[in-house]
Structure 1
Amino acid sequence: MLFQLFCAGAVRAAEVRVSAAASMAEALREIAAAYTQMSPAEVVIANFGASGALARQIEQGAPADLYLSANAQWVEYLIAAGRIAGEDVRTLAGNSLVFVGRSGLEVTTLADLSALGRIALVNPRSAPAGEYAQQALDAVGVYAALAGKLVMAQDVRQAVVYADRGEVDGALVYKSDALLARQAVILHEVPAHLHNEISYPAALTTSGRNNPNAVAFFNFLQSDTARRILHSYGFIVEEEVLPQMTKDQ
């Protein structure tokens, strides 16, 4: 019995719990797989969702060693709540915003969305993707006019699914998520100047910084290997860490 308890404790000590924006799901799973190949005794347990919802969970005491957000706002929220130390924050990547929908639709600017029917948008109150989309629509003066056509999704993955299934004419989502769509295609790339810069900060939580396994994985997230994986999923990373990659890789 004592041996079993010791083993159970060892397994728990090797766990790294990560709360990450839903748009990072596929990339983070591959990064975690690459990491555990190097450190097979460690287990990365990921919880994906809207950045705001995850931040509130952490604030309320949900177990998490690392937090990966789709904007800096929610990291600052957790710093103010005492759940993250400001010096434990690093920006991993960037992203862009696109409109996806069925092939054949004519969408050359966001103003063209006024001629469409239902449009999926991530809820701006819970996820950064919705905030960026609202900023862009406001910038071209069509957000208020589209209010009756907007279908609010919980996160970017749900918005892509709506577009894939044809339940909406299209959706405003991150490019990294759009590349995972099965049916919907990218119809328009939103100019970056229409919204705040899209960045993905990662941070150790106050409990995570005391977990050496979490610190090790946090460092791996900043490695060239991790950045190349992020790049392969459509995220924007520093070009200097990708010297051997081509557009086809």
Structure 2
Amino acid sequence: MFPRTLVSFAFLAALSTAAFAEKLTVFAAASMKDAIERAASEYQTSGGNEVVVSFASSSVLARQIEAGAPADVFISANIDWMAYLVERDLVRTDSETIIAGNNLVIAGPAGTEPVENPSAMLNGRFAMGDPTHVPAGKYARTALENLGLWKNVEKNAVFGENVRVALELASRGEVKAVIVYGSDQKAAGELVRAYVFPADSHAPILYPAAATRDGAESAETFLAFLKSEAGRAIFTDLGFSKATE
């Protein structure tokens, strides 16, 4: 079996070199920061064109694309914001693909012990994404509602404009706990996982990606890289779950 870097190079080299002359602009959900930065680096090292990435909440990025922002690829943290752009004919639907999945967890500072009841971690100030527009916040609120806890803990919630802002509040000790994706907790390092929400307490956490309607030709080449063996290995290494269509 060839080393992954060689496989990636062969994969890219087999494609038209004309596609690599342009710079590729990727708009990606904040929770994808580490994964997409690593993927962009490996893609370029393997012979792909330059990739510039902008990270923010999926809602913010989708609305920027709607307003005419020059993005080539959109990667959302849920299917709703991808659907928002599909409805407006702003992405190439034949390029749409699910690149990764995730789970939802409660994390706390070092020394935090696992809990069976999430209310034990949410009886003081805790952070989460703003549920009015941040996918992680929407998943969190839905999970807490389905567990019958939201009405009791809502008053303790501090909302972040994206999941990484919520994570930073916990990392600085400004809140007792934070509800984030499993991959975010793993990336934080100093925060430990105390609780994993049951998969049936919220909709499946999926990351759809697509080339924008007017995106560069190489947009779909980058998407193919994300779905390749090398791309999947990056997501797995950083705590994402397997992509399921």
TM-score when scaled to structure 2?
0.87
- 1:33-52 correspondence runs (5 A): 33-39=41-47, 42-52=49-59
The question of 1:110 aligning with 2:118 is answered: yes
Query: % of aligned pairs identical?
Result: 37
- Match of residue 167 from structure 1: 174
Aligned-pair CA distance for 1:218: 1.8
- Match of residue 191 from structure 1: 198
The question of 1:145 aligning with 2:139 is answered: no
Counterpart secondary structure, 1:87? helix
- What's the RMSD between the two structures over aligned residues? 1.8
Distance in 2 separating the partners of 1:108 and 1:76: 35
The question of 1:23 aligning with 2:31 is answered: yes
Identify the match of residue 215 of structure 1 among 211, 214, 220. 220
Counterpart secondary structure, 2:188? coil
Summarize deviations over 1:61-97 as a string: whole Å, max 9, x none. 0110000001111011001112113222100110000
Counterpart secondary structure, 1:212? coil
Change over 3 Å in CA distance of 1:35–1:67 after alignment to 2: same
Counterpart secondary structure, 2:171? helix
CA contact (8 A) 1:98 1:175 kept: yes
Q: Which runs of 4+ in 1 moved over 6 A?
A: none
Distance in 1 separating the partners of 2:179 and 2:197: 9
- Match of residue 5 from structure 1: none
Give structure 2 stretches of 5+ with no counterpart: 1-17
- Match of residue 7 from structure 2: none
Q: Point out the structure with max Rg over C-alpha.
A: 1
Corresponding letter in the other structure for 2:231: A
Change over 3 Å in CA distance of 1:71–1:21 after alignment to 2: same
CA contact (8 A) 2:121 2:176 kept: no
Once the two structures are overlaid, the 10-residue window that deviates more, 78-87 or 16-25, is 78-87
CA contact (8 A) 1:111 1:140 kept: no
Distance in 1 separating the partners of 2:24 and 2:189: 32
Aligned-pair CA distance for 1:145: 1.5
Counterpart secondary structure, 1:180? helix
Distance in 2 separating the partners of 1:155 and 1:16: 24
Give structure 1 stretches of 5+ with no counterpart: 1-9, 240-249
